Amino acid sequence: MAHSSDTENYLNHSKGLVSWLTTLDHKRIGLMYLFSVIGFFFVGGIFALLIRLELFKFGGHNLMDANTYNKVFTYHGAIMVFLVIIPSIPAALGNFILPIMVGAKDVAFPKLNLASYYIFMTGAVFAVVALFMRGADTGWTFYTPYSIRTNTTVILVLFGAFIAGFSSILTGLNFIVTIHKLRAPGLSWSRLPLFCWALYATSIIQVLATPVLAITLVLLCMERILQIGIFDPKLGGDPVLFQHFFWFYSHPAVYIMILPAMGVISEIIPVFSRKPIFGYKAIAYSSFGIALVAFLVWGHHMFVSGQAEFANFVFSLLTMFVAVPTGVKVFSWVGTMYKGSLHFHAPMLYALGFLELFTMGGLTGVFLATLAINVHMTDTYFVVAHFHYVMVGGTLMGLMAGIHYWFPKMFGKMYNEKAAQVAFWLIVIGFNVTFFPQFILGAQGMPRRYWSYLPEFTLLNRVSTVGSWLIGMGFVVAAYYLFHGIRNGKKALANPWNANTLEWQTSSPPPHENFLKTPVVTSWPYEYLPENTTMPVNA
């Protein structure tokens, strides 16, 4: 079924910038999201490097004053959370792959999809414009009362996040209806690929949680402008109520970040182990288990906020439950690899990196869920290390795995595998060098969001900064060979990984309508026979 990319495909279907900017093709929209997200990742990454440069304290000097430092970490957080990690896998990879994986010609609402992209970019513009004004220095969490009183341009950033949120909502809406209504004949629920299950659970969270963020940001803007007093004790309100509102979205948001990555891993591991996925049903159900528990635990971000002891007890207890469906997945992936025939191409390397880093991040989450420990670790670098392990070590690894896995499908070309291996090791080693010391720093008491620290923390801070340079180098290398691959990569087969899901049954790149003929599904996509270990990779 292989076709050369000289034939009609979605990339050459129509030409010119306008045809891209007005496209209704989910594949093109997915690519636009991908490039935008990569762009924002580098911007957010620069802020990260600035943070670590400051914390190196070269010769004991400060590179910037404390107020500027506050703005730098606020921007690092806000950009990475709202413009990179949340949209990345669903909007970029999901948009491209989901319709093809279910055998459809497009998502349910293509025009809405394009609108989502423009809404996303509009939100981004507001946030970036604020950067050139007085920025924001509240931290990406915008806690009251400081966020009410600071005279930075908080409202613009809030507005940007508000608008970007709608992009997330509409994407989720689109995906749910697509999965419900556009599955190809024969694609029953029990044959649905795990990436689709993951996106389904993610979309449910997006649709339920993001509107609460919207109203929270509106309330904060109203508090600043109209002094409504809901979060202001002087006027009878409660600043901790803001935290409830904020975290009711932001905790499920982290599962919006991780579930799609888990979906990617669930696709890659069986293919690169040449074995059926272990525990298909369990993995599918656990996605919904995680989605449900996601909404029950937000108070664990507020253990020291002055919240009632009863609430602390309830939330600590409920948080423990999230480890169960998560553990189900990790054990299933490991069970898949057991006695498999492992192939260590870049997608698999990133999947294994995910396993190591996400597991560490997840386990440290159990530390933090324990109330007695949390009281000491809150607002220290322990928390910073925890969430970077799960968000970067989890979602970003998943994103890189997915980009490499679906690279030949998206562009009809292969990336340079050797360069990919180099970048991978730089990133993974760099990541551990950057963030592992932060667990120690946090346990020793170094607070987060601090521009200065006690002298005894200097060595580990400097080690961490060196690690950040390794990560930076790794991503620069990755950007280089990936872009090089798009232009000059070796031509790829339709199915270089010898995988069974529907996207591999059409050409690389796919035609404009995804399939020449509507596919009919007759089997479960994870039937990998042990004898079938050929992975041709190259044309």
What residues make contact with other proteins under the rule CB under 8 A? 99, 104-110, 112, 169, 172-174, 176-177, 180-182, 207-212, 214-216, 218-219, 222-223, 226-230, 232, 235-238, 240-241, 244-245, 248, 295-296, 298-299, 302, 306-311, 314-315, 513
Question: Least distance from C-beta 204 to other proteins, angstroms?
Answer: 8
Q: Choose between 44 and 99: whose C-beta lies nearer to other proteins.
A: 99
Q: Choose between 210 and 273: whose C-beta lies nearer to other proteins.
A: 210
Q: d(Cα 192, Cα 190) in Å, to the nearest integer?
A: 6
Question: Least distance from C-beta 227 to other proteins, angstroms?
Answer: 3
Cα 183 from chain centre: 25
> Quick one: which of 36, 45, 38, 91 has its CA closest to 388?
45
Question: Least distance from C-beta 313 to other proteins, angstroms?
Answer: 9
Question: Least distance from C-beta 155 to other proteins, angstroms?
Answer: 16
Question: Least distance from C-beta 310 to other proteins, angstroms?
Answer: 4
Q: d(Cα 506, Cα 517) in Å, to the nearest integer?
A: 10
Q: Choose between 48 and 293: whose C-beta lies nearer to other proteins.
A: 293
Q: Choose between 71 and 300: whose C-beta lies nearer to other proteins.
A: 300
Q: d(Cα 114, Cα 32) in Å, to the nearest integer?
A: 10
The answer to whether 407 and 347 have CB atoms below 8 angstroms apart is no
Question: Least distance from C-beta 245 to other proteins, angstroms?
Answer: 6
Amino acid at 359: T
Question: Least distance from C-beta 143 to other proteins, angstroms?
Answer: 15
Q: Choose between 34 and 212: whose C-beta lies nearer to other proteins.
A: 212
- The residues, ordered by sequence, that sit 6+ positions from 108 with a Cβ below 8 Å of its Cβ are 174, 177, 178, 181, 182
Residue 145 CB burial class (10 angstroms; 0-12, 13-18, ≥19): middle
Q: d(Cα 242, Cα 265) in Å, to the nearest integer?
A: 35
Amino acid at 69: Y
Question: Least distance from C-beta 336 to other proteins, angstroms?
Answer: 32
Task: Give the containing element (helix H, strand E) for 264.
Answer: helix 239-273
Q: Choose between 308 and 520: whose C-beta lies nearer to other proteins.
A: 308
Name the one residue in this structure whose structure tokens are 């159900």.
285
Q: Choose between 250 and 266: whose C-beta lies nearer to other proteins.
A: 250
Q: Choose between 183 and 274: whose C-beta lies nearer to other proteins.
A: 183
Q: d(Cα 220, Cα 162) in Å, to the nearest integer?
A: 11
3-state helix, strand, coil in the chain (%, to 5): 70, 0, 30
